[in-house]
Structure 1
Amino acid sequence: MTVSRTVELEGHIIDSGTMQRCFEVIMDLGGDFDVEAFDVGHHKDEESYARLRVLAPDDAALQSIVHELHQSGVNPADPEDATLTPAPADRVVPAGFYSTTNHPTAVRVEGEWVEVADIEMDCAVVVEGVGEEGETTARTQVLNGIEADDLVVTGEAGIRVRPPDRPRDASGPFGFMRGGVSAERPSVSRIRTVAEALAEVKADGGNVLVVAGPAVIHSGAGDALARLVREGYVDALSAGNGFATHDVERGLYGTSLGMNIETLEHPRKGHKHHIYAISEIVRAGGIAEAVDDGIVTEGVMYECVANDVDVVLAGSIRDDGPLPDTITDTVEAQNEIRRQAHEADMVVMLSTLLHSVAVGNCLPSSTRVVCVDINPATVTQLLDRGSAQAVGLVTDVGTFVPTLADELLD
């Protein structure tokens, strides 16, 4: 017995490789296909369309193939309404719930397509307002935020996913990095391209989120990042206790983790400077209070307070102190990171594996992402986790940030 399902692809499906991936998925999972229609766009701004009849030996195999195709934006030609199942209890999703990708998604409810708000990967979709007066809405929800009787989308029916199209040429802010990861040295032309993208986002009134690790301070790039904050190129900062601690230490004692950044010497008792810095902030009541009291007078955290930048410091089990501003509740920290991610139009990740992956998991695929790290594993792990829209530069953040600041400001 052979079963089949007709599916559709549309967009720049040739340039993005979507068509090839679909053929590979079908054949790898033991299926076959007939191309019923194929209309190719003949100009750069024209999209292509294909309709395929997918064949499989049984229903289980067909469902597996259709599920995999769906992740690449392939949708049924005859969509049905999405299946909505009430959650049985708080923090419990129905069996077979639909787990989201990070691509723009819509669900079909009562014959109408409803866009899913705040899209991110690995979430459930909750639909509200069904059968009521007013607008029906859909949104992503993390599993620990599910409440009893929430209407959760289950199965694969009535779901439409739209991965971002890959441009046909090398034009545009990220054209040079279409390969994903660049392991070349930080040439001025590459950093200039990132600067142009940042300037474009800000000119359009967009939101720029910087995700920074302690290496930014250790490498001497803190002053340049502080300049970018002061000049309005950073709207939000996501970091950890270590980044803020060493930034404050740098301002108070001229060291980062006990090392003088200018001379690379280790002054006597320098290894205690970060603890002294934490104690000064604790005594003041927080970083903002320390700024108001004149204790902290320079650095990235100072500029964030002075310029009203949205800062989230997420704690970890290895934090010293921690600073009063550090969020030590993991779920609360996740929620705050998620809020920042949903507001961002562009994200610049600087030398932090854990924070880069954490923020990347919360981002829709439509958000521009640049990840900079001397360790190629940071960049590749971010892409492997599903943030396929991210472009990476494997280079020294101590060179990248000052050069970026010069390109933008000088």
Structure 2
Amino acid sequence: MGFQLPNFNHPDFTLPQFVESPQAKLVPSPKDKVAPEQYHATTIFPEYFKIGGQWLLAKESRMDCVAVYENGEIVIRESRRLKQGDLVVIGRTEDASEGIYVHTAGFASEDSNPLETFAFRQGRSRETAYSRDYDSLYELLRHEREHGYITWVLGPACAFDHDSRTAFSKLVQNGYVSALLAGNALATHDLEAAYLKTALGQDIYTQKSQPNGHYNHIDTINRVRLHGSIPAFIEKEQVKDGIIYSCVKKQVPFVLVGSIRDDGPLPEVYSDVYAGQDAMRQCVKKSTTVICMATTLHSIATGNMTPSFRVLPDGTVRPIYYYCVDISEFSVNKLKDRGSLGVKTIVTNVQDFVVNISKGLGLE
């Protein structure tokens, strides 16, 4: 039967709790970048606000932001973007008693059953069986390639191995990557592999350290900076393979955001974290599936920007599928602890994961 999106069930606004609910209270922002006292902080779930007798859905949400009533709509805005006088929703309940309703069960299926009182292996760990997750992912990715927007968030481990680097390049080339979010290291080591056949000085296939290999990644950065940009480096140095090469050739957008420890960095890397966050957000706003691999900080950053739903141009509300893949149970659990409650976690080696995904999609 293939992949099918679940139906979204809007709240029944004819129920007394909604009919008798007061209007949401709006208070002007006292100054730029400052929310009024008792502001409502948004969640990952669909949220409705009663304004003028109507329940308005905030169409683009984000965790830990504020709701602003503007031009007849609810706009979700980071506090740093507030302007003095913006009409901000205040209230700290979520059950419609203050004109604010957080809808956590919009995609709940009618046949879902509560867990047994006692059952083994209900968590997600290295002992979890992931066969069904892989099968579901193959179906999801095939659907999203035609109907969605797939954002991948990568750590440098994805470029350290010959096979995983090749496998991810095939995903890009075959339309399974709509955008790539990463740091300086992923791009640096991927370009190092294309330029010098090493990652951090080790041969990407044999893993043998090369003479003076510790220079290779900074030599690569230096060469890219000489040419002025990653696309210019790819052209001038006749680079023919890799993750970033494939993104450039397929015109897949990539956003590289730096950190305090970066070498170089590469010319395209955002050194201003808020400019980088804004650039990441532009991709996240389009995303219908997000897959994070082997990068705790970028996974949490992206998770904090990503709601559990997307409102399509035709008004349809659909879920956003969010996966986090890491060999560390700590990393995937930390993402959930930071509020990304809808994330599906897979605890495995990301290099094996990418190869399995590529093979499962028939990209051998």
TM-score (norm 1): 0.76
Task: State how 1:155-194 maps to structure 2 within 5 Å.
Answer: 155=91, 156=93, 157-163=98-104, 164-167=106-109, 181-184=124-127, 188-194=131-137
> TM-score, normalised on structure 2?
0.85
Distance 1:91 1:368, change over 3 A: same
Counterparts of 1:185 and 1:113, CA distance in 2:
41
Q: Secondary structure at the match of 2:322?
A: strand
Divergent runs of 4+, >6 A: 44-49
- Aligned match of 1:369: 322
Which of 386, 391, 394 is equivalent to 2:347?
Answer: 394
Note the 1:175-214 alignment, pairs <5 A.
181-184=124-127, 188-203=131-146, 205-214=147-156
Residue 114 to residue 327, structure 1, CA distance change in 2 (3 Å): same
Residues 322 and 111 from structure 1, CA distance in 2 versus in 1: closer, same or farther, beyond 3 angstroms?
A: same
8 Å Cα contact 1:180/1:391 also seen in 2: no
Pairing partner for 1:238 from 175, 181, 186: 181
Which amino acid is 2:102 matched to? V
Does residue 139 of the first structure (1) align with residue 75 of the second (2)? yes
1:154 counterpart (77, 86, 90): 90
1:100 is the counterpart of 2:53: no
**What one-letter code is carried by the residue in structure 2 that aligns with 1:144?**
R
The equivalences for 1:240-389 within 5 A come to 240-366=183-309, 367-389=320-342
Structure 2: gaps of 5 or more residues: 1-6, 113-120, 310-319
Where relative contact order (Cα < 8 A, 6+ residues apart) is larger, the structure is: 2
Partner secondary structure for residue 149 of structure 1: coil
Structure 1 distance, partners of 2:82, 2:8, is 41
**Correspondence for 2:317:** none
Cα deviation code 1:114-155 (max 9, x no counterpart): 2213111100111112xxxxxx01111111111111111111
Aligned length in residues: 331
Tell me how far 1:381 sits from its aligned partner: 0.8
Task: Tell me, in whole angstroms, the C-alpha distance in 2 between the residues paired with 1:47 and 1:106.
Answer: 10
Q: Cα offset for 1:217?
A: 1.1
Q: Would the aligned equivalents of 1:184 and 1:395 in 2 still touch at CA under 8 Å?
A: no
CA–CA distance in 2 between the matches of 1:342 and 1:180?
A: 30
Give me the whole-angstrom Cα distance separating, in 1, the residues matched to 2:29 and 2:9.
42
Could you tell me whether the CA contact under 8 Å between 1:185 and 1:395 is conserved in 2?
A: no
Inter-CA distance 46–179: structure 2 relative to 1 (3 Å threshold): farther
Distance 1:168 1:259 in 2: 53
In structure 2, C-alpha distance between the alignment counterparts of 1:201 and 1:396, rounded to whole Å: 24
Q: Which amino acid aligns with 2:134?
A: I
Q: Which has the larger radius of gyration?
A: 1
Flag the 1:47–1:324 CA change in 2: closer, same or farther, 3 A. Answer: closer
Distance in structure 1 (CA, Å) of the matches to 2:9 and 2:175: 37
Distance 1:368 1:95 in 2: 34
Does the CA contact (< 8 Å) of 2:125 and 2:329 recur in 1?
no
User: Structure 1 counterpart of 2:347, which letter?
Assistant: V
Provide the secondary structure at the position in 1 that maps to 2:361. helix
2:22 aligned with 1:86, yes or no? no
Render the CA deviation track for 1:208-245: whole Å, top value 9, x for unaligned: 00000001112441111111001110000000000000
Asked whether the 8 Å contact 1:257–1:271 carries over to 2, the reply is yes
Shift in CA distance, 343/78, structure 1 to aligned 2, threshold 3 Å: same
Identity of aligned residues (%): 34
- Report the Cα distance in structure 2 between the residues aligned to 1:180 and 1:342, rounded to whole angstroms: 30
- Structure with the larger strand share: 1
